[in-house]
Chain A
Amino acid sequence: MALPRSPYNPLTHLASLRLTLVLLSLSIVLIFVGTLAQVDHGIWWVVEHYFRSLYVWVPLDVFRPVFWPGRETPWDVSFIFPGGFLLLGLLVVNLIAAHAVRYKVRAAGGTLVVGGVCLLVGAGLYALTVALPTLADMIQQDVMLMLGIWALPTALVTAGAYLLFGGRKGGIVVIHLGLILLLLGEFVTGLAADEGRMQITERGSSNVIMDVREVELAFITPAADGRERHVVVPEHLLERSAKTGEPIEHPDLPVSVSVDGLMDNSELRTTGFAGGDLRTVDFAAQEIDTVSGTQADRSDMPSAYITLRGGGETLGRQLVSVFEVVRPIAFEANGRPWRVVLRFKRTYLPYAIQLHDFRNDTFTGTQVARNFSSDLRVVEPGGSAREAYVKMNQPLRYDGKAFFQAGYLQHPLNRNTGTILQVAENPGSWIPYLSCVIVTVGLCGQFGASLFRYGKRTAAQGVR
């Protein structure tokens, strides 16, 4: 290898294979502690603090479930560890530097031209497949079709890489290209992807997507044409107010609001029946441990105590909660009626989805679900409608979003059922698919070549 391996070239150090190994090993440790941390914390909390961060303070306590399962008292010791973003970033830098230093284009003359053309045409075809809207849509619908369409460009790119970088390194170049694409895909996902859930009761209609990972405080007042005006305070402002004690003020808000306490997860108890009537039950909320990542199918139920002040008047300290039994706070300001609720972060759709029928088939004599399915109708504001059928592993794709069958609701009183749809929107969702194709081809090429050489060597050593 002809390397500009001078110690003065900073790339040489960045490209070091030792650095790669150190970073990969640290990644394994990070993933391990990030897995253990899910015993005590919610999965999204862990993702934010461990995997999408620059560094993380890891409490020694995370090892408790493995080494001291019965231990109750926590240790107050933490150590600092590089976070996912830092490791990932350094790995990308290391990888690119390594290619800059160690991977030289070997080809010359005709081979160089042919290889370059292959590479460029392949890349162009990839771009074409994802840029053409109809094709992109088809790809989303059918994995096999997608793999078929990508066969040709992948073959071209691979051929190009082998021609340019030679038999020993071509495969590695292809693998690394695919890996960079994979990381890029995760990056696009982190930036642009959105997910939430939608609940529709049978013979009901909904246009709301909820994100149960975040709450918001909504001030709602009637507007013209039967519409409603929502003024929404996001969670991080509530958190800041809870921390600093400063009230939140905004021209759109009818009153100022200060958060006295925000509970990430809470339970309610009744404190009395004002006036002896059931509809005026008083509740108190109490903070409890957040749901951990290993407790699947549960989510945190936040509550908050807030104080509303308007026109020199205060409405006192009141409870708001995502529990629907806690009724909204009602008040009037500037002659308009308002109600205030704490709710999971909402996104309103311009169209509505209606549920005709939800079916929950179980295996004979068991409670094990065989299939969940929902008969849906999507109704656009103009009145045009489209029927859809969603079941496990078969989502509805509409408006750039995918609606997956995630679960169901059943009312305890009259057994009315409803559906829970997981709604995901990710413009980069095709990237991992492509990257998988590329890396697989590269790995097969590389190992196929190794195996061939191994076989030849074994034969040459005269072992029969």
Chain B
Amino acid sequence: MSKTLPNTKSAEQDVAHALSRVLQAALPMALCVLLALWLLGSVFTARGAGTAEGFGTFDYAAFGAVPVSEDGRVKPLDTLARNTLLQLSGKQSLVEEMLLPGEGDEGRPAIVWLAEVFAQRPEARQRAVFRIDDPDVLGLMGLTVEDGKYFSMDQIAPHLKAIEDQAQLALDLPDDERTRFQEHVIGLRSSVGLLFELQVGLRPHVLPPTAEGEDWVPLANPGTGTLAELNPAAMDRETAVSWAELVSAYRADDPGAFNSRVKAHRRLVDGEVPDKAGKASFEQRFNAYRPFVKSIVLYLLAGLMGLLGLLFRPMLSPGWARSVWRSGVGVLVLALVVHTAALVVRMWLQGRPPVTNLYSSAVFIGWAVVVFAVVMEVISRLGIASLAASIVGVATLFIAHNLAKDGDTMGVMQAVLDSNFWLGTHVITVTLGYAATFFAGFLALLYILLGMATPVLDKKSARLLSGMVYAVVCFALLFSFVGTVLGGIWADQSWGRFWGWDPKENGAIMIVLMNAIILHARWGHLVRDRGLMCMAVLGNIITAWSWFGTNLLEVGLHSYGFTEGAMTKLLVFAAANLVVIGIALAVPTRMWWSFRPKPRPTGEPRSPKPHPAG
């Protein structure tokens, strides 16, 4: 660092100084404006982005916005295509393995595949959309794992009899006595069945009601299960004709006719159910916009800037430190805006409070943590809360992305859960409790990691951070307690039992107890900062258990596949947290890099460590 002499300021230096101040102010603003333009611009280009019109001249985007009813909910074909393909293959679009020779290697949207299925085009049978991992199931079809992961209907068809026989054997067993092979055979059979039902017109319910009291109906007769016999309920619906025309135009490979028939069909459907059609159309654009992917990108960017800002803070002038901090927080706020908008859109589409299943709980936990963090960041200006929030934001959205493989993320609610009042009170509060406990835990992790492995956690920051963790734990206790008791009250209102010691209730009360322990230990001065942090990290493990572990237990002892892996991941997460706690407790605080007693500076005097906010 160059040493400037106080009284010899030249005009050039003045200009340089002014310029750097302008740059410092401009950096966050420019970054945010650019990103905001990107986000806004995508709104208008989203229609094409996810549903690409480029394959042939078929207007897949318009086709994808056609509303149908499936699994009790009206949704656009685009959502149906993504969810179904996800169920069969674990992918949301046609990836390289599923493309046919001559189609290049650029992936295609799922809606292309769905159109082929409806039209019973040969491509639908040739595309390798069934993912089969189990070596024994592959063996049943004379294949091995070397043959790949994805298989087509044409490859499976010769072995349908064997699959059906094995599946029937397996279905006769109680579900906790089936082997891994049997579970997978049943899975494959239901995937094949799903494709069959789509092909013959049993799924989805494509024809909207034409009068009050009527319901959506499928094209095929559910009684006979083939298209050979049209559903009697569909006979007098105009949309049956327009749908059939649309499908046959696709079968005939006639883009012009297809595109006009899609428009005609949509006009009819819009006329019957304008509200639902509007929502479905919006949902298709929502899918195409991929808000959660954008949020992940922004969280990553914010996290990276936050980390760099923290690590290089000692080398930056106060002005630049503040500028970098502002940029990071700005990006975080932008991410939060997208995240919030997506959450609100989902609520509007579903007509429900934000948390209705495991998927939406992940989305909501991430959102709540970021909200907490932005508030904390504005108060503390340490750059640590926003870093923790970025990590949690990325992690939860990533988890949500994986959970989406279970099916429709906006599925209907079981009767007993179908209460917007309780979903809006108990579920929200208890999920906020999870979020706050995680936030405290991740702040504590950062405290330990930054304190040990970097020099950036000075005394003042450490004290502020520990105050933050304490405050967040207070909120966590409040939310988790109120949420748990509200859950009890819901149970009392629904089946007359306030507390039943079931796994989910137990998980919630464990979080309450953990937070109570932390606060009592702190109030009684039984722990200091390091102890507080270790306990807060322990809170991470308990919250993860309540969130996922209890769900995993319900599938019983003999579960295989995804859940087995999930329990392992949970254990790894717990072990990682325990390792951090172990190291934090093993290494005395005075040996932590940040808290090491500083040797008296002997060389040139250094300016006091700048705070990012000056």
Residues of chain A whose beta carbon lies under 8 Å from any beta carbon of chain B: 17-18, 20-21, 24-25, 27-28, 31-32, 34-36, 38-39, 43, 46-47, 51, 64-67, 69, 143, 182, 185-186, 189, 195, 292-296, 362-366, 368-372, 392-393, 395, 402, 404, 406, 422-424, 426, 429, 432-433, 435-436, 439-440, 443-444, 446-447, 450-451, 454-455, 457-458, 461, 463-464
Contacts and interface: CB of A to CB of B under 8 A. Distances in A.
A272 B495 CA distance: 42
Interface string B196-215: 00000001110000000001
Nearest to A395: B496
A43 B72 CA distance: 33
A393 B507 contact: no
Interface stretch (B82-90, B105-113, B304-312, B512-520): B512-520
Nearest to B523: A17
Contacts of B464: 458, 461, 463
A8 B218 CA distance: 81
Given A424-B496, A435-B485, A35 B69 contact: no
A38 B516 contact: no
B229 interface: no
Contacts of B69: 364-365
Contacts of A422: 495-496
B542 A370 contact: no
B496 A27 contact: no
A433 B500 CA distance: 16
B342 interface: no
Contacts of A454: 467, 470-471
Nearest to B500: A43
A365 B557 contact: no
A365 B411 CA distance: 13
B160 interface: no
B556 A28 contact: no
B287 interface: no
Given A43-B501, A295-B556, A296-B554, A365 B72 contact: yes
Given A429-B492, A436-B485, A21 B520 contact: yes
Given A18-B526, A24-B517, A39-B557, A447 B489 contact: no
A38 B504 CA distance: 12
A28 B510 contact: yes
Nearest to A424: B496
17 contacts: A17-B520, A24-B520, A35-B503, A35-B553, A43-B500, A69-B557, A189-B499, A294-B553, A363-B72, A365-B71, A365-B72, A365-B205, A392-B419, A432-B498, A436-B486, A440-B478, A458-B467
A370 B471 contact: no
Given A17-B524, A24-B516, A440-B482, 4 more contacts: A20-B520, A402-B496, A404-B495, A435-B485
B502 interface: yes
A312 B158 CA distance: 71
Most B CB within 10 A of own CB, among A143, A185, A402: A143
B516 A64 contact: no
A38 B503 contact: yes
Contacts of B503: 35, 38, 293-294
A51 B73 CA distance: 42
Interface in B507-543: 507, 509-510, 513-514, 516-517, 520-521, 523-524, 526, 542
B126 interface: no
Interface in B439-490: 460, 464, 467, 470-471, 474-475, 477-478, 481-482, 485-486, 488-489
B497 interface: yes
B414 interface: yes
A27 B415 contact: no
Contacts of B70: 365
A34 B485 contact: no
A457 B464 CA distance: 10
A98 to B, nearest CB: 10
A35 B614 CA distance: 51
A450 B522 CA distance: 13
A436 B245 CA distance: 61
B485 A439 contact: yes
A432 B418 contact: no
Nearest to B474: A447
Interface of B: 69-73, 176, 203-205, 215-216, 218, 379-381, 412, 414-416, 418-419, 422, 460, 464, 467, 470-471, 474-475, 477-478, 481-482, 485-486, 488-489, 492-503, 506-507, 509-510, 513-514, 516-517, 520-521, 523-524, 526, 542, 545, 549-550, 553-557, 559, 564, 567, 571, 611, 613-614
A282 to B, nearest CB: 25
Contact of B501 (A28, A47, A395, A426): A47
A424 B513 contact: no
Given A294-B553, A464-B613, A368 B474 contact: no
Q: Is the interface of A mostly helix, strand, loop or mixed?
A: helix
A432 B69 CA distance: 42
Most B CB within 10 A of own CB, among A17, A36, A365, A368: A365
Contact of A21 (B72, B497, B521): B521
Pairs of residues from A and B, 8 with the lowest C-beta to C-beta distance, nearest first: A424-B496, A363-B72, A17-B524, A436-B485, A369-B415, A447-B474, A35-B506, A366-B72
Most A CB within 10 A of own CB, among B380, B495, B523, B564: B495
A28 B379 CA distance: 34
Given A66-B571, A369-B415, A143 B489 contact: yes
Contacts of A294: 503, 553-556
Contact of B567 (A69, A185, A293): A69
A395 B490 CA distance: 12
Contact of A424 (B470, B471, B495, B554): B495
A426 B72 contact: no
A91 B507 CA distance: 20
Contacts of B611: 463
Contacts of B486: 436
Contact of B510 (A31, A295, A440): A31
B86 to A, nearest CB: 18
B216 A69 contact: no
B296 to A, nearest CB: 30
A439 B381 CA distance: 33
A139 B520 CA distance: 34
B506 A424 contact: no
Given A294-B554, A424-B497, A392 B509 contact: no
Nearest to A404: B495
Given A69-B559, A463-B381, A25 B517 contact: yes
Contacts of A25: 517
Contact of A31 (B73, B493, B506, B520): B506
B190 to A, nearest CB: 14
A143 B490 CA distance: 10
B418 A65 contact: no
Nearest to B516: A24
B396 to A, nearest CB: 23
Nearest to B381: A463
B275 to A, nearest CB: 16
A447 B517 contact: no
A64 B567 CA distance: 12
B571 A366 contact: no
B305 to A, nearest CB: 21
Nearest to A444: B478
Nearest to A293: B502
A66 B471 contact: no
Contacts of A38: 502-503, 553
A185 B498 contact: yes
B412 A368 contact: yes
Contacts of A17: 520-521, 523-524, 526
A108 to B, nearest CB: 25
A67 B495 contact: no
Contacts of A182: 485
A32 B381 contact: no
Most B CB within 10 A of own CB, among A25, A31, A64, A195: A31
Contacts of B414: 368-369
